[in-house]
Structure 1
């Protein structure tokens, strides 16, 4: 499986988990707030910051009215006007990208229309994010591929055929660094919809590294515990929404963590990867060696044994002890002669026995 770079971070099976903080619309149209959220992501230990870029007239019709497009409690009768109010303009996005890059975060941009894609090219993003809504917009997919950058495909809600067609189109256009992100947003997504076990299948089918775009309720402790489990089924990346303050209930808050929660989330992901280790039997560490010395049994005297006794099986027993021969040496101790008196539970080693040549003499 290919390992590649997004910015200064490696992404793939042999690399540390790639953690993406997704901004979405959590900025509520406020550039300063967006920069604060990016600062929170950087301080929390995220690797990348994902920014939506939208030129609304090219993205949505004015009479669009699906209430499932925005967070609970937000306007649903005039969604275009609401999103237009909280959308970051191109100049604001440019300032945000510069600030984010200066924080050391990889910049992942998700252009939602051609105007936004043309603008994003001038910002030199580290990766593009392709939303599943664009998968069947073939000319847009090809334009993303022709940019020659890594592409993160959010595949939630897409059929296998749509994913296959998009992956093939991107590769044909020249994009060979692809990352699939499994998961979708339903403000928030139910635990039962997470289905982590499908991820290895996706990786095999499309010969791509796969990650998790988690959208569990950010107010539930499980939102910090479940995503790290994805590492155990092969995830190389985990994306989670981030907001400034969940209590404000800004746009996209349902699945988001605030910076302090995100820091805990990052710590859990890193700890999970450390605990999973590698698929090999490594050399014993100092801790394992210590455990062996402490936990293993030794050969000791089963009873009081006078000096000059020819040892028989009933004289020897294996117990946990600081001293004594290893149990695997017990058969070789039988028939040898004790050189000293041994009290019950005394360690039995070659040092307390008469050497063979001495017995023969």
Structure 2
């Protein structure tokens, strides 16, 4: 199976999971807040922070703005759609400022691109991997343009059928893309548990023989950890400093306590998976000596006496003759006197 190189880290099946703290538009247009979020993501152990590269003119039509001028949910929407998009868009200067900050802080900057001009911007800033959001999996002309840059791609698969995913991969590959990783994703915020279908991680891996991760929109920390147990090699999780902040995604995002737990628990789950080969560790072999049982005699017996099955019991520790070996003991004589309730050794047997 192929792997994907994300800024020098090799990501794929059997590799330590790669954790992406999705800041997205949770910076709320405030670069001081954005930098605090980056610092918090680093403290949580994230490998990368991810943003969204779009502008007021590149993502949404004028007609859609006109249809969405006010909302009843004032915590999530402070004004019209157009006003919010203008406030939350990630400008070219902000890209440069935050990429510089990430480099100095030692964390990888990633971003979802939404138009050709934003692809060009990310190339000019030498962003190592393109992230393609679920909404663009059927935007084949856009996929062709992304692939033409020859860089690795992380492709989210929310809302997509298996056939659409196959077509998107074929388009990327035929257009010159670098390595591809898929993210299983359910594009509902948050989804109902019965719709998450984490077993799709294995389905995508078997169908396309490429790295598969999980873009998580659930509440809490359990589901991304479970995704790792099912083979996810990338975890992308929305991230915030405070779920109560105004804005689109804060309420469904992980806060620093949750993100740290996802990273720590995820790595522990990965280490615990091991492999399919049945083996017994050196520590367990040593444990056998204390926890398993040895043959002991129920009564004091003299040299030359014949051992009968009724003379035998089994007790800790496991340093003597094991219970599985009694067929070699029955009807044999003792080579010396042996006290009751003492582990029997082969040197005691004729």
Give the TM-score of the pair, scaled to structure 1.
0.89
Q: Give runs of aligned pairs for residues 238-257 of structure 1, distance below 5 A.
A: 238-257=235-254
What residue is the counterpart of 1:329 in the other structure? 325
| Whole-angstrom distance in 1 between the partners of 2:210 and 2:72 | 31
Deviates more, 1:35-44 or 1:286-295: 286-295
Seen in structure 2, the aligned counterparts of structure 1 residues 151 and 192 have a Cα distance that, compared at 3 Å, is same
SS of the equivalent of 1:281 reads coil
SS of the equivalent of 2:244 reads helix
What residue is the counterpart of 1:142 in the other structure? 144
Deviates more, 1:160-169 or 1:286-295: 286-295
Cα deviation 1:308-333 (Å, max 9, x = unaligned): 31223332233333542122332333
| Whole-angstrom distance in 1 between the partners of 2:327 and 2:68 | 80
Deviates more, 1:156-165 or 1:303-312: 303-312
From 303, 309, 327, the equivalent of 1:307 is 303
Q: Give runs of aligned pairs for residues 28-47 of structure 1, distance below 5 A.
A: 28-47=28-47
SS of the equivalent of 2:62 reads coil
From 94, 105, 121, the equivalent of 2:123 is 121
Cα distance, 1:67 vs structure 2: 9.2
Cα distance, 1:338 vs structure 2: 2.1
RMSD between aligned residues: 2.3
Deviates more, 1:121-130 or 1:185-194: 185-194
SS of the equivalent of 1:57 reads helix
What residue is the counterpart of 1:237 in the other structure? 234
Q: Give runs of aligned pairs for residues 190-269 of structure 1, distance below 5 A.
A: 190-217=192-219, 223-269=220-266
| Whole-angstrom distance in 2 between the partners of 1:74 and 1:339 | 85
Note the residue ranges of structure 1 that are not aligned, 5 or more in a row: 218-222, 356-361
What residue is the counterpart of 1:220 in the other structure? none
Seen in structure 2, the aligned counterparts of structure 1 residues 72 and 203 have a Cα distance that, compared at 3 Å, is farther
| Whole-angstrom distance in 1 between the partners of 2:215 and 2:290 | 44
From 281, 286, 294, the equivalent of 1:285 is 281
Asked if the contact 1:241/1:256 (under 8 Å) is kept, the reply is yes
Question: What is the total number of aligned residue pairs between the two structures?
Answer: 348
Note the residue ranges of structure 2 that are not aligned, 5 or more in a row: none
Cα distance, 1:69 vs structure 2: 11
Asked if the contact 1:9/1:47 (under 8 Å) is kept, the reply is no
Asked if the contact 1:299/1:326 (under 8 Å) is kept, the reply is yes
| Whole-angstrom distance in 2 between the partners of 1:71 and 1:125 | 35
Seen in structure 2, the aligned counterparts of structure 1 residues 241 and 336 have a Cα distance that, compared at 3 Å, is same
Cα distance, 1:352 vs structure 2: 2.7
Seen in structure 2, the aligned counterparts of structure 1 residues 344 and 72 have a Cα distance that, compared at 3 Å, is farther
SS of the equivalent of 1:246 reads coil
Asked if the contact 2:78/2:246 (under 8 Å) is kept, the reply is no
| Whole-angstrom distance in 1 between the partners of 2:314 and 2:281 | 26
What residue is the counterpart of 2:165 in the other structure? 163
Cα deviation 1:235-290 (Å, max 9, x = unaligned): 111111101212324331122112232111111111111222222224x3232113
Deviates more, 1:27-36 or 1:341-350: 341-350
| Whole-angstrom distance in 1 between the partners of 2:62 and 2:73 | 19
Give the TM-score of the pair, scaled to structure 2.
0.92
Cα distance, 1:304 vs structure 2: 2.3
SS of the equivalent of 1:23 reads strand
1:57 aligns to 2:54 (yes or no): no
SS of the equivalent of 1:269 reads helix
